[in-house]
Amino acid sequence: MTTSSPADAFLAEITDLFTRLGGLHYGEDVTQMEHALQAAHHAKLDDAPPALVAAALLHDIGHLMQKIGEDAADRGIDTRHEQIGAGYLARVFGPEVTEPIRLHVAAKRYRVAVDPAYGSRLSDASQQSLALQGGPMNADEIKIFLADPFAAAAQKLRGYDEAGKDLDAEVANFETYRALLRGLIDQAGKL
């Protein structure tokens, strides 16, 4: 009988979430899995550090963990997926992975506040969720966001998030990221 390490068990849990629920949509034309893989692909193309590649891959895992359903935004519910996902992943990953995830919605709110044209380029689903997430930041929220040491990483993640919605993208599969994720779990030393 083989036993797996706690890190392998956690990776299996994440993989299972994406395998079982990654085919769901969240208001976009692409599935959760396609979106995750495309966001990670864009992070790699940008030569992002491994932690930010992992954050791009896992940034919406909170959506997969919820029992509210795919139509939460249509029902006027902000699911706070960024908080749920970051909290879950913080069990094994360091803040270099989890904080950009926690802040990726704030990064959208920031970007719309400082660049109104950015808001007009958001997908319909992203505009709908923006309204539920508080809309553009006010001046005080901007100061708080920019003071966060992970604000720049969250802004980069936001870009990968927006780029990850192409119906025709060809990207690597989820298993491709296993070694990267395992290395980051080992580096964090939480297990």
Instruction: Answer yes or no: is pLDDT of 77 > 50.
Output: no
**Contact predicate 68/81, CB 8 Å:** no
* Fold of the domain spanning 6-102+159-188: Hypothetical protein af1432 (1.10.3210)
Segment 23-64, tens digit of pLDDT: 987 778 899 999 999 999 999 999 999 999 999 999 999 988
What is the mean pLDDT of the segment spanning 81-102?
A: 95
Q: pLDDT higher for 116 or 158?
A: 158
Q: How confident is the model at residue 74, as a pLDDT?
A: 47
Q: What distance in Å separates the CA atoms of residue 22 and residue 151, rounded to the nearest whole number?
A: 27
Low-confidence winner among 66-80, 129-143, 161-175 (lowest mean pLDDT): 66-80
